Structure 1
Amino acid sequence: MSKPVYGKNALQSRNVEKIPSAIWALVIAFILFLLWTPFQVGLFNGLLIDFEKPLYVSAMLGALMLLVWIGLYYKKFQLLEQRDVLAVAALLLPVTYALSLFVAVSRYMAMDMLFIQSMYAAVFIITLYLFKQKQLNVVIQNALLAIAYFIVGFGLLNWLGSWRLAGGLVGWFSNTVQNGKYLDAVMTDSNGLRLTSIFQYANTYAAFLMAFLFVAVFALIRSRKWYGTLTHGFMLVPIIVSILLTLSRGGLVLLPVVFILLLLFLKPAQQILWIVHLAIAGITSLLITNPITTLGIELNTKFTSSAAFKGWGFLLGASLIVAGLGWVIQRYAAPWLEKKLGSWESRKLTGLWIPLGSVVLIGLVAFLFVGTSARAILPANMETRLENINFKQHSVLERFTFYKDALKVVKDYPVLGAGGGGWSSLYEHYQNNPYTSRQVHNFFLQYLVEVGILGFIVFMSFILYIFYKYIRAYIKRDKDEYQNGFFYLIIALSILVHSLLDFNMSYAFMGILVFLGLAGMAAVMESKPLRKGWNKAGVRLGYLGVLAACTVFILFLSITYIGSSNSAVKAKQLLPVSQSYEEIKAPLMEVLKTRPNHPEAAIYLSSLDQQVFSQNKDEQFLTEAESVLTRALEDEPYNKNLLKQLVSNYDLKGQSDKAYEIFRDNTDKFNWDIQWYEDLISRSYALGHEAFVQKDEVKQKEYFKTALDAYNHVVAGVEHLKTLPTEQMQGRPFSITPNIALNIGKIQMISGDPEAAKATLKLGFNDNYADIINSNNLWEVDWYGTIISRSYDLAQAAYTQTPDVTLRAGNMQPSLTIGLQAYSHVLMDIEYMKTLSAEELKGRSLTVTPGIALNAGKIQYLSKQLSAATATLHSGLTEDYSDATNQEIARWYLASLIKSNTVQDQAVYNRLIAADPTATTKIDEIIAMQF
């Protein structure tokens, strides 16, 4: 058998061969796939119903293209050289995710990650062989550049106010365009407006821009056509300006790191050209960034054609100047420079001097912009971001915390990992403080969490082998042979380096780019011949057979999941418009028949069953809901929403002890969720108080102990948060809340420790309740009544002081929650007093006073607990309609009946109107309240 041909001769020999039209069709399909994917498949973050279908469609398209590749290449495929083995090794990547399914903490997300990894493997295998043909390689490179430039232009269209045009360009095939606007192409956070283009996350867009900035410079210098030089030179300013508009500190920090690494691959003349082109484009971009930023902020508030015209004038003018200068440099300076430095390039280590000098230069520039007032030339928001670049900055400290917590997961799931989406499911269990991050912000650590040490070794061996073989050949051989490979190295290296600090690879499109880059390097890497045994027909056909079988499996599975997703979307769309239980239930059952662990479908169906039960009191609906939820929880034990839905089911069945057990048995999964601990303590107190009334000391102690243990956990957590660095924010609120204080204080009171009860109350309540907490009649019904009254007043004040309807509920909720908890204590205490003797009851009332009923009913009404509000207000009514309090109770009572579409109480209405003819208007005002 003749020796395989690789390197330059391989490319030349293959160029002689005519490319069949079927392969061209595959290339066109692949390019369309590349264009479709970034606008369809976004962030993998525990995908929800609205976003899962594009993932399955992408997996299906990847499988179809791979089957076409098998059909086209099954005769040509040979296991002759090392790069051919990579096509086999690529299958191990999805295999490691398949193995992790056996231990996955979320089978739903683990299956989704299996689809993604299968798609990556398909992309790698297909392009590995397409790239061997230089003509196809160049076509795909040009297509990638065109797509990248389109994404850059798309982002700037949104920044400069032309979001309708941008949305119209992609709205016909993107599910992210709503009401003509691409969602969050310009996002807003605490730093102000940030450009994200298609990614909806500024840091990942910065990683994408960094990669294609260097690709554009590379393409500019390599281009032999004037129009190519002008095109790539023209795009440098839009890309650099876009990087600045992302406000990504990680992008700005890692950009020079990647730049220095890439310089090491270049000849001195090329290094100088890279520096010159980037310096010209960078300085020009800085000159226009201030007005572009100001105009973009203005245009995203209110569009005016004059401001948009001015913004585009700055951008296009600067781009044309840089493009022209770039052409001049390449036309006249580049040949002269290469001639002058030709002899120098042959000397050893000459390629190191300019990168080392660049390190010094970059350090100086960094010092000027970070350590001096020179950054004042930048817009205020960019100046602030640069000013905060340091190792004590919150985001840096927070990332270090993520990394430490991720290693805790790895320690518990070392070999096969926790499965795809493992961090997203588990982070609340392992987190050091109550941050919210469904991503580790480090791709490599997240990969280690998901597939364990075994999968991580496979992945790192795969990518490091490709980098090693490509770089080794690049150093040893004439570099001109490896220009196409260098194009792909830039992409893969840039994204992977940036992924050390962020979750870029959680975007399927970014993952595709990386595997495309790996295939591009592998196609021209140093590839030694294999032993003859590798290329036996049985081995080759066996591999293709396994590949085909796995691909067909993924194809049919993805088609099944697409149907399931369609049913889920249909059900979600029917929920707000349909009144038919059977119509809504049918598509949900279709989903759960295929995927019984689908969290949203399980929640929707159980919620539907619970609503029907509330109407007809038929417990078979609750039984079905429980069955659906418990089945889903078998595969999704860390899904908080499923657990809470099961709790609501037990509440409806009157099984408060089982609801309590859900909270008790799952506390360690949500160590820093203060709401979880509030609910656990509240339920523990209620059940313990019930046991106290029934004089069951064993159960009373059990429930009270659970509450006190939970309280001690919160206290310890509060103390731990004090040890965080002052620069690091703790994350979500975590403190002793008023509800916790009320319940624990009462437990301590019942347990005979009134001083501890007082101290606990003072820990939990703020100054708005200081006079109440310091009163002498703690725990009496009237004392609770004062808390309820104060809570309503504070909620009412929040209502009137919050003009934004969307913010009202959030501002009112803390006070409403305190009032509801206090009222529940009143009801429990009254039930307890009913067990006392006449002597013990002396001077104590067994009924809720009208004042308490009025305020409690109002709080329930504002909390949208209309049935409870109706009952509470009705209990406070008296026969005296000349009494102002009674009239107010009647008004709120009638309003709650109308609001809940319940039959009107005509007798109460008639008496109220007789006493106050203007009552109808006042009732309408209550009904019209928006919260």
Structure 2
Amino acid sequence: MSNPVYGKQAQTSTRDDKRPAIFWVLIVGMILFLAWSPFQAALFNGQMLDFEKPLYWALIISMILLILGIVTYYKKFKLEEQRDWLAVLVLLLPLTYVLSLSSAASYYLAMNMVVVQCIYAALFIISIYLLHDRLGNKIIHNLIMTVAYVIVGFGFINWFGQWVLAGKLVGWLSQYVYHDRYISATMIDTNGLRLTSVFQYANTYAAFLMAILFAAVFCLMKSGSWYGKATHGFMLVPIVVSLFLTLSRGGLVMLPVVFVLLLLFFKPARQIIWIIHCAVAGVASISILTPITNMGLHLDKVYNGGEAAKGWGLLIGVSLVVAVVLWLVERYLSPKLENVFKGWTSRKLSNLWLPVGSVVVIGLLAFLFIGTGLRSVLPENVQVRLENINFRQHSVLERLAFYKDAAKLIKDYPVIGTGGGGWATLYERYQDYPYTSRQAHNFFMQYLVEVGIFGFVIFMSFILYIFYKYIRNYVNQNDEERDAHFLYLILALSILLHSLLDFNLSYVFMGILVFISLAGMTAAIDSKPLKRLSMRASGFRIMYSAVIGILSIVLLFVGLRFVQSANAAVYAKQVMAVSRSFEEIQSANNKDLQLRPTHPDSVIRLAALYKNVYDQTKKDEFYNAAIEVLNTGLKAEPYNKTMYNIKVDLLQMKGENEQAFSILENNISNFKWDNDWYNMLITKAYTIGNKAREQKDTAKEQKYFQAGLAAYQQVLDGVAHMKTIPPEIELTRTFEVTPGIALSAGKIEFMSGKPAEAANIFKNGLKDDLSDATNREVVRYYIAALQKQGQNDEALYNKLIQADPKEKEQIDLLKALKL
């Protein structure tokens, strides 16, 4: 694969004919790292145990690479230019996450984000110097495109039902292969089958494809060899088809935006060629989209080798034709256009005319595909997705709700934020209605939540400065110099813009691409020598190298420790699933907790183990051990619902009902849309209050009965609020007056001598299924409450008696109860 000529400015760095051996070790390391990382589920950012180990290995590898980078480029560490300072200032990004640890909502997730930021900073520092080297830039340039094309090909192997082949190809380097199948390389949701490739999430794959599409068009235009042009031209159709197969509306919306923005960087002749390449690839892709979509849908259900071969033949055949056509365009049309528009290029604002015209054309195409019958040329599932592109659509309204809720969170944690993972930990406390989303679906908003205004200003200043300096420098360069690093602008701009709509950068591989690209843009900056801040003395080189080296070594050992912990946690999980030995399970979990005392997974498993043993033996040593483990875990994870649930269960077993109630009441604001939480709280309020009533403790009775009824009123208020949610929003969680909630709240009123109020509450919890014991009990109390008022519901009464004849006696006892 051949790529553009790499600019003259890079030639001032390391000579091409002689490089130290350490340089090649660094290059090999970068190649292996970038080839490995996508197949670790694109290195999702460690919010679950399954994603931990690859993340920590990425930290270890990046620290090793940074040490190699220090050795390779030691002589270049000097603060003489603005570019050099960016290699220092990037360290502020992980430092802001370290600072946010002091207010972290989850220490575990916050530490994982410190790890992620250290990976980014290390790769940024290495890449600044590596990509300023002409040969290093060329190798990384080719490496990124090669890895990207492999990811696209891997996606189609899975789309055409060849999961076993895909699994065998990557099973040796990925832990996400199960029964010879890479997990979720295609996904099914309410929209149907969607292509995800290595990302396991269609929208992020769409963001990746959008970036790679424009990168491939650029490489096609600037490649100096026929085989380079043919390779990049060949890949355009698979990329565009893959983009459609993701069914990502965000990808389709952001695609024309990035297309037009990138168009502004070219001269008129190149703009025309850019448009032609994209148009040819687009038309060819749409022409085969329906059959390839239908083949994938069929092959997902039943694999057929012949049909898969037809799919590959169609895709490869059309891609070859497009490659030939675009090579001819490059060979014959492009030089002529350069000559024709040579005079036009010098005119003022000449590069704006085609982008403005493109906006009009794109608007017309959008109208035709969305508002007319022209969309019938597309597969049915794509048609449906296009029809639903509007501001009243579910995903748009849902994202707006996320952003509003994030704004509330930022208001409470404005300066240094909530720490990494703050949104995932706290969103239930701030959500306007019951949804489930551990991601805010906007990278910038989520970043602001995590590090506050202070960290966000540092981050935005960092990336905006790089973009500003790159664009300013780009304007003053010749074509050869511009082309040397333009790929990195394409990648960074595409991914960051799409991240306004989704959580792409929660995939560390995407973040790696962005930070390498930012470094590539930085390497292209023709920095002016610094005057006031210049530090040419060797003292800085020694100090900087020593600091970076020490930090690298420390983080290397931290990564190794975390890998040990992750291995121990996974082993403990496996042991708990198959073993009945208390000692074996305890030992496995303690091994993890010795390394990380507050690791949530092991805290929960060990506490659950002690709880179960205490339930069987009633020995206080197990009760105390469980409480101690949970208290330690909750200090670091004060919003962990599972830990609270285990603690409440333990307290109830011990008869500490008031302590259990206190936990439920104190945390109701954290889980305000959780029906189960309200059910436990109101039930506990009734249990404690009714016991106080029997003991003639009126003050205590009123305290807990009122607390229970207050919680019930919150449920009613929530149910009323749910009616104001736009109907276009598809609710994934329910919030209602459940039979359990109605039963406990109604009992409070019933035992307080208020049968009318009780009947109204019980009525809210009535269900048709009387085979369920709770449903029968609600009906029993409802009938008794009515009869206490001299009323009855004969039909419901008869249905209850028919379900269980013993209910008649129970109702009579309740009716006769003196209150």
* Residue equivalent to 1:238: 238
Match of 2:535, as an amino acid?
W
| Cα separation, 1, equivalents of 2:752 and 2:782 | 21
Is the Cα contact below 8 Å between 1:761 and 1:773 reproduced in 2? no
**Match of residue 370 from structure 2:** 370
Give 1:684 shift: 1.2
Match of residue 92 from structure 1? 92
> Does 2:784 correspond to 1:777?
yes
Q: Which residue of 2 aligns with 1:669?
A: 670
Q: Which residue of 2 aligns with 1:324?
A: 324
Partner of 2:219: 219
- The DSSP-based 3-state class of the residue aligned with 2:76 is coil
Change (3 A) 1:175 1:776: closer
Residue in 1 aligned with 2:384? Answer: 384
Contact 1:597/1:635 (8 A) holds in 2? yes
Question: What is the distance in 1 between the residues matched to 2:29 and 2:144?
Answer: 13
Moved more, 732-741 or 384-393: 732-741
Give distance in 2, aligned partners of 1:740 and 1:530. Answer: 69
- Distance in 2, matches of 1:693 and 1:207, equals 64
| Counterpart code for 2:616 | Q
Query: Matches of 2:786 and 2:721 in 1, distance apart?
Result: 31
Determine the C-alpha separation between the residues in 2 that align with 1:687 and 1:200: 48
Is the CA contact (8 Å cut-off) linking 2:22 and 2:71 kept in structure 1?
Answer: no
Taking a change above 3 Å as real, the CA distance of residues 790 and 685 of structure 1, as seen in their structure-2 partners, is farther
Aligned position for 1:618: 619
Task: Give the aligned partner of residue 863 of structure 1.
Answer: none
CA deviations on 1:583-622 (whole Å, 9 max, x unpaired) are: 2212311211221211110011111112222333322011
715-724 or 115-124: bigger deviation: 715-724
Distance change (3 Å), C-alpha of 1:780 and 1:17: farther
Change (3 A) 1:575 1:791: farther
CA distance in 1, matches of 2:524, 2:381: 44
Residues 237 and 282, structure 2, Cα contact 8 Å, conserved in 1: yes
Whether the aligned pair in 1 keeps the contact of 2:203 and 2:246 (CA below 8 Å) is: yes
User: What pairs with 1:761-776 in structure 2 (closer than 5 Å)?
Assistant: 761-767=762-768, 772=779, 776=783
SS of 1:523's equivalent?
A: helix
1:514 aligns with 2:514: yes
Give the deviation of 1:526 after TM superposition. 3.2
Q: Are the counterparts in 1 of residues 623 and 650 from structure 2 also a CA contact under 8 Å?
A: yes
Say which is worse superposed, 548-557 or 289-298, in terms of deviation: 548-557
Q: What letter corresponds to residue 671 of structure 1 in structure 2?
A: K
Q: TM-score, normalised by structure 1?
A: 0.83
Aligned AA for 1:288?
I
Q: Deviations over 1:496-535 (max 9, x none)?
A: 0000000000000000000011001000113111127422
Higher RCO (C-alpha 8 Å, min separation 6)? 2
Q: Does 1:606 align with 2:613?
A: no
Structure-2 residue corresponding to 1:354? 354
Tell me the amino acid that sits aligned with residue 513 of structure 1. L
Separation in structure 2 between the aligned mates of residue 364 and residue 12 of structure 1, nearest angstrom: 48
In structure 1, how many angstroms separate the alpha carbons of the residues matched to 2:797 and 2:596?
46
Residue 730 (structure 1) shift: 4.1
Instruction: Say if 1:100 and 1:419, in contact at 8 Å, map to a contact too.
Output: yes
CA distance in 1, matches of 2:78, 2:19: 18
Matches within 5 A, 1:524-563: 524-531=524-531, 533-563=534-564
Match of 1:456 in 2: 456
**How far, CA to CA, are the matches of 2:798 and 2:547 in structure 1?**
71
**SS of residue in 1 equivalent to 2:194:** strand
What residue is the counterpart of 2:656 in the other structure? 655
Q: What SS is found at the alignment partner of 2:728? A: coil
Q: What is residue 744 of structure 1 aligned with on the other side? A: 745
Once the two structures are TM-superposed, the CA of residue 400 in structure 1 deviates from its matched residue by 0.8
The residue number in structure 2 matching 1:210 is 210
Question: 2-side partners of 1:790 and 1:596: how far apart?
Answer: 55
Distance in 1, Cα, partners of 2:13 & 2:441: 45
2:3 aligns with none
Partner amino acid, structure 1, of 2:784 = N
Aligned-residue Cα RMSD (Å) equals: 2.7
In structure 2, stretches of 5+ residues that fail to align are 1-5
* Shift in Å, 1:60: 0.9
2:259 corresponding residue in structure 1: 259
CA distance in 2, matches of 1:32, 1:775: 69
Structure 1 residue 553: deviation in Å?
A: 1.8
* Equivalent AA in structure 2 for residue 666 of structure 1: N
Q: Which residue of 2 aligns with 1:107?
A: 107
Cα distance in 2 for residues equivalent to 1:512 and 1:521: 14
Query: Which residue matches 1:586?
Result: 587
Q: Deviations over 1:660-694 (max 9, x none)?
A: 22111100101111211111111111221222222
SS in structure 2 of the partner of residue 633 of structure 1: helix
1:411 aligned partner: 411
CA distance in 1 between partners of 2:238 and 2:429 (Å): 43
Q: What SS is found at the alignment partner of 2:198? A: coil
Q: Give the secondary-structure state (helix, strand or coil) at the position aligned to 1:194.
A: strand
Does the residue aligned with 2:75 lie in a helix, a strand or coil? coil
Match of 1:193, SS?
Answer: strand
CA deviations on 1:25-54 (whole Å, 9 max, x unpaired) are 101101110111111154646622222111
Residue 189 of structure 1 is matched in structure 2 by 189
Distance 1:775 1:647, change over 3 A: closer
- 1:579 partner letter: R
Kindly provide the amino acid, as one letter, of the partner of residue 777 in structure 1: A
Instruction: Count residues in correspondence.
Output: 801
Partner of 1:712: 713
What pairs up with 1:142-221 in 2 under 5 angstroms?
142-221=142-221
Sort the Cα spacing of 1:761 and 1:356 in 2 relative to 1 into closer, same or farther, 3 A. Answer: same
State TM-score, norm by structure 2: 0.94
Deviation (angstroms), 1:745: 1.4
Structure 1 residue 787 displacement after superposition? 9.8
* Matches for 1:504-903 after TM superposition, within 5 Å: 504-531=504-531, 533-767=534-768, 772=779, 776-778=783-785
Any conservation in 2 of the 1:491–1:514 contact (CA below 8 Å)? yes
**Partner letter of residue 98 of structure 1?**
V
What is aligned with 2:61? 61
2:273 maps to 273
The DSSP-based 3-state class of the residue aligned with 2:132 is: coil
Once residues 399 and 241 of structure 2 are traced to their aligned partners in structure 1, the CA distance between those partners, rounded to angstroms, is: 27
- Corresponding residue SS for 2:726: coil
Query: 677-686 vs 610-619, which deviates more?
Result: 610-619
Instruction: Tell me how far apart the structure 2 counterparts of residues 430 and 107 of structure 1 sit (CA, whole Å).
Output: 19
Mapped partners of 1:750, 1:306: distance in 2:
72
Per-residue deviation, residues 871-898 of structure 1 (Å, max 9, x unmatched): xxxxxxxxxxxxxxxxxxxxxxxxxxxx
Question: Structure 1's 271 and 688: CA in aligned 2 closer, same or farther, altered over 3 A?
Answer: same
**Alpha-carbon shift at residue 326 of structure 1 (Å):** 1.0
1:875 paired residue number: none
Equivalence map 1:280-359=2 (5 Å): 280-359=280-359
C-alpha distance in structure 1 between counterparts of 2:607 and 2:220, whole Å: 59
- CA shift at 1:648, angstroms? 1.9
| Greater alpha carbon shift after TM alignment, 557-566 vs 489-498 | 557-566
AA matched with 2:270:
Q
Letter in 1 for 2:525: M
Q: Structure 1: how far apart are the matches of 2:422 and 2:467?
A: 28
Q: Distance in 2 between matches of 1:499 and 1:14?
A: 36
Higher Cα radius of gyration? 1
1:67–1:789 Cα change, 3 Å: farther
C-alpha distance in structure 1 between counterparts of 2:45 and 2:643, whole Å: 17
Partners of 1:457 and 1:17 in 2: CA distance: 43
Query: Aligned with 2:93: secondary structure?
Result: helix
Change (3 A) 1:767 1:590: closer
Checking the alignment, whether the CA contact within 8 Å between 2:13 and 2:132 is kept in structure 1 is no
Deviates more, 1:650-659 or 1:691-700: 650-659
Query: Could you say what secondary structure the match of 2:677 adopts?
Result: helix
Alpha-carbon distance change, 204 to 405 in structure 1, aligned in 2, over 3 angstroms: same
CA contact (8 A) 1:488 1:518 kept: yes
